[in-house]
Each structure stands twice: as C-alpha cells, then as structure tokens.
Chain A
Amino acid sequence: MHKANTSQFTTSAANLRPGARFAWIGQGFLGALVLIVLYIIVSNAIKAPTFFVQIVIGGLQLGFVYAMIALGYTMVYGIVKLINFAHGDVFMVGAFVSYFAVSYFNLHLWPAAVFPGLPHSVVIVIGSLTVILLSMIVCTLLAITIERVAYKPLRNAPRIAALITAIGVSFFLEYFGALSFVFSSRFIPYTAPFDTLTWYISNGIHLVTTGVKVPPHSITFSSILVIIMIAAILVQLFLQYLVRRTKIGIAMRATSYDKQAARLMGINVDQIISFTFAVGAAFAGLGGVLYAIAYASIWTQLGILPGLKAFVAAVVGGIGSIPGAFVGALIMGQAEALTMGYISTPMRDAVAFTILIIVLLVKPTGIFGEPEQEKA
C-alpha cells in the first residue's frame, strides 16, 4: 500500500511539469547555433589561415583592453552590486588626460628636459610611464569623487535608484566633456607618447620599417599589442595578489560577502568601497591610455561601448570573479573580432549582447561565478 502511494506521488510530480521533456528543443537550437558559428569560423580559417590569425590577434588586443575595464566592473559589482555605468567614462577621461599631457604639455619628454644627457629610449620609457601614472591618478580621484557625491548617499536605496544615478553620472561626464572648452565633441587624432613598432611574420619575425615592403599574406602585429597584453596580465596578477594575500583584500572580500558583518568585524566599509572604486578606476585609466595609443583616435563617447562590452564580459565570466572577468573579456574580444571579420562589421555591437543573453540563460552565474546566496 505504501509502495503504491509513493509511485503515484512520483508520477504526479512528473505530470506537474510535462514540458520538461521538451528541453531538447532549446538545446538543439543552441547546439545548431554553435555548430553554424563553428562551421563559419573553421571553414574560413581553413580557406585563409593568415587572415584568421590576423583576426585573432585583433581580437586579443580588444580582449585585453576589455579585460582592464572589466576588472573594475567586476570588483565594484562584487562589492556594492551596482553596475557602475560611469566606469566607461572614467576610461574615456583617462585617454583624454594622457592626450592633454602629451599634446599640450609634452609630459612624456620631461626626463630629457630635466636630465639633458639621458638616452632617448630611457626618456621615452620614463616619460610614458609618467603619463600613464598621471592618467591613473586623475581617474582614481575622479572615481572617488563620483562615489562620494553620487553613490554613497544611495547606499541603502533600492539598487535601481543607484543604477539611474550611475547613468546620470555617465551622461554628465560625456556631455560635460563634449563642451567645447572641455574636450569638445569632435574625434581628436591622438598623439602617442611613443612610436609603435610593427612586425610581420614571414619566414621569421621582421620589423616593418619605411621602405620595406610587407609580403602579402603575412601576419602583422605591433608593439602596442604586446604592451597591452603584458599590462593586462600584470594587472591581473596584481589584483589576484591584492585580493587574495593582503589585508585590504581580505577586507574587500568580507565586505562583498556581508557588509553588516564586515562592519561588526571592525572593517571600515565605506573606505573599502572607495578603495575598490579607486583601484578599478586606476586600471580603467591605464586601459584608456593604451586604448587611445592602439586606436589613435579619441572622442567623448569613446568609453560607452567598450564599457558596456566589458561589463558584459564581466557577467559572462561570472560577476565578482577576477579571473572570470579576464576570461570573459578575452572571449568578448575574440567574438567581436570574428564577427567583424566573417559576418559584418556593424553587427560587432550585437554579438556581445547575444552572448550575454545566451550565457545568462544557460548558466546564470557566468563561467567562473559561484552560486549567489539569497539575501533579504
């Protein structure tokens, strides 16, 4: 009797969700989509392998820039659960600060002015590092100001109110920057503090110099790609160290886990949140300078789309996770580059959001994300 009862119970539970056995429709749809994309990529890669490698290199460059922005998004979201829309505009300000420092004040040449005997390469290295440092400092100060003025009063308000404020701050930076006495709304050609070198691979690696003809079907890459990769990896390692090993990193993790409990443990939560904003903004500033050097043209709305895509990358990798943001950004860069190369250039913005929707539907916590605890 008892046995019969349980079997009846299980069948009725299955009858409650009879549609569950149709999961294959959606899975088949996704599978077909993935197969089509793979087919396009592989068939094109076989047809023109050097073009494919060139696209992948372009994607790496984009991906590492996104990684530097995405780290700031993921840290801030991990701690205050706020999509910091203004982060992309902090990135833009970083690019503009370096532009003014280089074009107007020749800051990258200061060692030559102070120590006239220095060799040119040393001057350029020290000068460029100064410019980058200046951008990072300005971005940090800007982010701390934004946090104090716009986000701190809303710490206990509904999350969407803070999100709207973030959108307001983002707009303010864009349109204030577009005024003619600030940055002006035009596209501005960017003067890099150092000349980028380009190499091509064809029977070994050769430097591209004026007068040398690059053979067709050879892969080219530039020094800025190498610099961006090294910088992004260093930033990644630094943040891993900061979050895992230092005292302030432990405080950040505690704040992210439970603000009230962290406060009870004697952690100055407000200071930790400001610090998180500052670290994220510093690396956004670094990313801004490198982005401007790599793409050689800046304007005031430069930060919006990279910022959004970096946020998408952070979500894809698992929001709150630093390696996740890194991996997500690389995926995003490749997806965008491949879309530009093989499908159509205008759809480059569409692919990021498509990936976002698919990833959130399949694995809502992202690739590296941990399942979120329900909090009241």
Chain B
Amino acid sequence: MEISSLFISIIKILGILAYIYGLLWVLGRPKLWMKIAGVVVAFGVVQAFLSIQLGNNNQILNTFDRGLLFQACAISMVALGLNLIYGFNGQFSLGQWGFYGIGAYTGADITFRWINGDSTGLVVVGLGVILEALLIYGVNQFLKRYRGMPVLSAFTLYLLGTVVVWFVADKIGIALNPAIIPLLGTSDKLGVLATGAPMQVVFFLAVILAGAFAAEVSFLFGLPVLTLGSDYFGIATLGFTIVANVLLVNTDTILPFPEMRGGRGMLGIPQMTTWFWAFFFLLFVIIVMRNLLQSSSGRAIMSVREDETAAKAMGIDVANNKLMAFVIGSFFAGIGGAVYAHYIGFLSPATFTFLAGFNPLIIVVFGGLGSMTGTIAASFGWIFFLEGLLRVILDSIGTEAANWRFVLYPVALLVLMLVRPQGLLGTVEWGFLKAKKVLVRAQPEPPASTVVVNQSTGD
C-alpha cells in the first residue's frame, strides 16, 4: 500500500463529491440555456478524464475508476428509488433489490436476444409493457366507477388481465419475428438494426422497458401488499426479493429463459453503457424525481409519510399515493439494473441476493431519509470509499482483511442509527434539489374594520 495511491483515492472521493455539488449547482441555475450548458460541461469533464491519456497509457480515471463510476450511477438510481419509497413516502421496503434484478435481467435479455438475431425480446416486452399500461389504465377507470372494491378483487382483475395481455404480446412477438430477423443478421455478422445508431436506440428502449417492466411488476405486487402494516410490508417485500432471487437462479428450469442460464449466470450481454448513457439516465432519474417531489403529487406523497390520517382528512388518496411512490421507485430501480447489466456484461443471481439488497437501504439511511442530495452523495461515496478505497486498503493488509468490509458495514450502520438516526445529511438539499420557497399568494391586508373575528351575520 503506497501512501500516494491512498492519497489519490481520497482526492478522487473528494473530487466526486465536489462534482456532484457542481452538477446540482449548475442544474439549479435559473435559465434553461445555463442548465443545458452546465450539463454539457459536467458531462464533458468526466468524459475528458476518462479518455485523455496521461503519459504511459494512464487516464486520470482508469478502468477501475470507470467501473466504480458506472456502478455508482446505477446504485444511486436504485437508492433514489428507495428513498422515494421509504424516505419520502415512509413505506419501509426491502424489495428494491428484487426490482433491480428484474430490471437488469429484462434489459440484458432484450439486447442479448437482439444481437443474437432474435427480435422477440424487444417486441414482446415492448408490446407487453404498453398493453399492460393500457390494461392498468382501463381497470383503473373501471375501479373508479365501482369505488370500494376489495383489494383482492382488484388484484384478481389485474392478474387475469396481465395473463391475457402477456399471452397476446408473446404470440404477436413470435409472429412478427420472421419479418425482423433479416435486419438483425446473426451474432457473427450483425445486420443493419443491430449496429451503430439503431443499436443505441434499442439500448435506450431496453433500459426504459426494463424500468417499465419492473414498475409493472411492482404495481401488481404492491397493490395487495401495500395495504399491510409497515413492518409486515417490510417483511413481505423482503420475501419478494428472496422469491425474485429464487426465480433468477431457476430462469432455465422454472422460467422458460434458457439464455439466462440460471445460477451459472448470464453471459455475453453487450457492454453498451458508456459514460454518456450512465450520465444521461442518472440525470433523467434525478430530474424526474425532483420535479415529481416539487409538484403537488410529491407533496401528497410526503404528507402520507408525515401522517396518514391527516393526509386522508385533507382529501389525499393514501393508498393511491403509496402505490405511485412504490411503482416510480421500482421504475428507477429497473433503469439502474439495466444500466448496470450493460456495463458489467455478465449477470449472476448471486449479485441479487437479499443480503446484498440491504445495501441501498444502508445508503439511503446514511445519506439521510428524505434527502436526494444525501442519497446521491452517499451512493457515490459508498462505491468509491467502500468498494474502492477500503478494498484497496484492506487487500494490502492481508487476504482475511477483505472480509472485514462486511463486518464494518453493519457496525457503521449501528453507530449511525444510534448517534445520528436522521442520516449524515439529514434533509439538507443542494442547489437544484433545494425546494423552492412555496409562494403563498400575496393577499391584500384586510381593512381593520372587517377583522372582527367570527361575527356571524346570518340568522
């Protein structure tokens, strides 16, 4: 362990935190052109660090750092989603990692099939997601007319509809396949649609569809489960992560996806995540979530966290808001999963065990419940400190020391919960994410004569 590499690691962590601060500051500028220019500069800086050569084939951010950076982007999307569910809406969920896994496998399967001359992945998932969205909209309209339907009945309707929808999507996808195959070429010689710009579009669609698929799974799961109490909800979502992992281990036996190869792990996923895409999707998630939280829907979501009864009294549909936060949070997790899958190029169910599923929770708790800035900073800090710096330090001490990482996480979590339960940053927000002052409409000062309180004039 050289002291210089330690020093460089610390510099990098500080640099990343400064970078996040700068990014949020730039996004918070008032004019649109300033924001766009700032984002382009922010993108360019890291791109330059990644590509400019320094003397003997060394970049400022080398391959290892690049990996950490992409992982940090993916994990911060997941953690932001969890923060929306737990931090802002108060629903203690341990299912985020399951949706991350679902997103990763869905996105990976779409592009994997695409480059291997099979269009069914994209077409079936795309059609299925769109039809399912229509189904959810339709059933929701029906439920609005017949208010007060028991949750179980509503769930049954959605479930039956889902089975029909995915059956139809599957049939259409298989029927369309022969028409698209000539454009895809084979895995040796890729066709028109599987290279260059069209492939980038497919990748973009794959990531969005992975998120949407995870969101729709979370809708079906969350509909009955969100009616349970807070701890029971936590256990049920933990169960979801466990079951999702069991299914991922058995993708080739229980589920009909031989290309995912079950517990041996899925190989040959195109590594398409570049800094542009990682940055793009992270920015997408941040902006969507910030705008959501500063809208009236966001305030409704936060009011559910503060006091459900009071929220209900204000006319807020509590069940609906819980479901919305859960679905959007899972959407972010799915996007994060797909970005991760296309960076790493290899997916193993071991990544998505429920033990690893506590990582986003730890990140959210560290960063501060209900602080987006805290979550982003904690995600990057987590990856760069614990995966980067600490691994380097502990590896240099000895082979056994690396396992101490997993002992240190829970101890840090314990100490934090005992000393500062609201997280390191609490609810502090930086720049762009800082809530605008709510403008109370300026009311003219009432004339002194009418300020006689509660003088009833009727009767």
Give the B-binding residues of A (Cβ under 8 A).
16-20, 22-30, 81, 83, 150, 153-154, 157-161, 163-165, 167-172, 174-176, 178-181, 185, 301, 304-305, 308, 311-312, 315, 344, 346-347, 349-350, 352-353, 356-357, 360-361, 364
CA distance A305 to B235 in the complex (A): 12
Give the docked Cα–Cα distance between A161 and B224 (Å).
25
Among A83, A157, A167, the one with the most B-chain Cβ atoms within 10 Å of its Cβ is A167
B153 touches A364 (CB 8 A): no
Contact A179-B152, Cβ < 8 Å, known A165-B414, A350-B246? no
Q: How far is the CA of A254 from the CA of B51 in the complex (A)?
A: 68
Q: Is the CB of A164 within 8 A of B403?
A: no
Which of B235, B406, B414 is close to A356, meaning CB atoms less than 8 Å apart? B235
B190 beta carbon closer than 8 Å to chain A: no
Q: How far is the CA of A160 from the CA of B403 in the complex (A)?
A: 28
* Contacts between the two chains (Cβ within 8 Å), count: 171
In the complex where A18-B146, A171-B358, A347-B254 touch, is A30 in contact with B406 (Cβ < 8 A)? no
The residue in A17, A20, A150, A357 that gathers the most chain B C-beta atoms within 10 A of its C-beta is A357
Residues of B contacting A165 in the complex (Cβ-Cβ under 8 angstroms) = 413-414, 417-418
B67 to chain A, nearest CB (A): 24
| B182 contacts the other chain (CB 8 A) | no
Q: Note all chain B residues with C-beta closer than 8 A to A26.
A: 150-156
Contact with A along B360-371 (1 / 0, CB 8 A): 010001000000
Give min CB distance, A69 to chain B, whole Å: 15
Task: Given A163-B92, A165-B414, decide whether A17 and B147 contact each other with a Cβ distance below 8 A.
Answer: yes
**B residues adjacent to A (C-beta < 8 A):** 92, 143, 145-157, 159, 224-225, 227-232, 234-236, 238-240, 242-243, 246, 249-250, 253-254, 355, 358, 361, 365, 400, 403-404, 406-407, 409-411, 413-414, 417-418, 421
Residues of A within 8 A of B361 (CB): 164, 167
User: How would you classify the secondary structure of chain B's contact residues: helix, strand, loop or mixed?
Assistant: helix
Nearest CB in chain A to that of B404: its residue? A179
List 12 A-B pairs, Cβ < 8 Å: A16-B148, A23-B153, A25-B156, A30-B152, A171-B406, A171-B409, A179-B404, A180-B400, A312-B239, A315-B232, A352-B239, A356-B235
Chain A residues whose CB sits within 8 angstroms of the CB of B229 once the complex forms: 364
Chain A residues lying within 8 Å of B148, measured Cβ to Cβ, are 16-20
Contact, CB under 8 Å: A22 / B153: yes
**Please, which residues of chain B bring their CB within 8 A of the CB of A29?**
152-153, 155-156, 159
CB distance from B237 to the nearest CB of A (A): 9
Give chain A's interface secondary structure class. Answer: helix
Known A19-B143, A163-B92; contact A178-B406, beta-carbon cutoff 8 A: yes
CB-CB under 8 A from B250, the residues of chain A are 344, 346
Q: Which residue of A lies closest to B245 (CB)?
A: A349
A161 near B417 with CB under 8 A, answer yes
| Chain A residue nearest to B148 in the complex (CB) | A17
Separation in Å of the B418 CB from the closest CB of chain A? 5
Query: Which of B153, B404, B410, B421 touches A19 (beta carbons < 8 Å)?
Result: B153
A306 vs chain B, min Cβ distance (A): 13
Q: Is the CB of A179 within 8 A of B414?
A: no
Cβ–Cβ contact B224 & A22, under 8 A:
no
User: Least Cβ distance of B382 to chain A in Å?
Assistant: 15
B225 near A159: Cβ-Cβ < 8 Å: no
B419 to chain A, nearest CB (A): 10
Q: Could you tell me the distance between the alpha carbons of A170 and B355 in the complex, rounded to whole angstroms? A: 11
In the bound complex, residues from chain B placing their C-beta under 8 Å from that of A174 are 355
Question: Is there an interface contact between A360 and B152, defined as CB atoms closer than 8 Å?
Answer: no
The interface residues of chain B lying within 8 Å CB-to-CB of A308 are: 235, 238-239, 242
| A268 vs B294: C-alpha distance when bound (angstroms) | 48
Do A349 and B414 touch across chains, with their CB atoms under 8 A apart?
A: no
- Of A150, A181, A346, which is in contact with the most chain B CB atoms at under 10 Å from its CB? A346
Whether B403 pairs with A175 at a CB distance below 8 angstroms is yes
Q: What 9 pairs across the A-B complex have the smallest Cβ distances?
A: A17-B148, A353-B239, A26-B152, A19-B149, A19-B146, A175-B406, A171-B410, A26-B153, A25-B153
Q: If A159-B231, A315-B235, A353-B242 touch, does A172 touch B146 (CB 8 Å cutoff)?
A: no
Residues of A with C-beta under 8 A to B414? 150, 165, 168-169, 172
Contact A349 B411 (CB under 8 A): no
Q: Which of A18, A30, A168, A352 makes the CB contact (< 8 A) with B145? A: A18
Cβ of B246 and Cβ of A349 under 8 Å apart?
yes
Contact yes or no, A83 B235, CB < 8 A: yes
Which residues does chain A contribute within 8 Å of B151, judged by CB atoms? Answer: 26, 361
Q: Which residues of A contact B413 (CB under 8 A)?
A: 164-165, 167-168, 171
Q: Complex formed: what's the CA distance from A128 to B166 in Å?
A: 57
Q: A150-B414, A165-B417, A308-B235 are in contact. Are A179 and B400 (CB under 8 A)?
A: yes
In the assembly, what is the distance between CA of A224 and CA of B146, in Å? 56
Contact of B234 among A158, A163, A312, A361 (CB under 8 A): A163
Give the residues in chain B near A25, CB-CB below 8 Å: 152-153, 156-157
- Contact, CB under 8 Å: B418 / A153: yes
Which of B227, B361, B417, B418: most chain A CB closer than 10 A? B417
Given A175-B407, A175-B410, A360-B232, 19 additional A-B pairs, CB 8 A: A19-B147, A22-B149, A26-B150, A29-B152, A83-B231, A154-B417, A160-B92, A168-B414, A169-B414, A179-B400, A180-B403, A308-B235, A346-B250, A352-B239, A353-B235, A353-B242, A357-B228, A361-B151, A361-B228
Residues of A near B152 (CB, < 8 A) are 23, 25-27, 29-30, 361
Question: Max chain B CB contacts within 10 Å: which of A16, A26, A178, A311?
Answer: A26
Q: Which residues of A contact B227 (CB under 8 A)?
A: 361
Give the residues in chain B near A357, CB-CB below 8 Å: 224-225, 228, 236, 239
Cα separation A164 to B249 with both chains bound (whole Å): 27
Chain B minimum-CB-distance residue to A158: B421
User: Is there contact, CB below 8 Å, between A176 and B407?
Assistant: yes
Asked whether A353 and B243 contact (CB < 8 A) given A26-B150, A171-B406, the answer is yes
State the CA gap A325–B302 with chains docked (Å): 36
Contact (Cβ within 8 A) A172 B235: no
Chain A hits for B149, CB < 8 A: 19-20, 22-23
Chain B residues with CB under 8 A of A161 = 417, 421
Contacts of A158 in B (CB 8 A): 421
Q: Which residue of A lies closest to B408 (CB)?
A: A175
In the bound complex, residues from chain A placing their C-beta under 8 Å from that of B155 are 26, 29
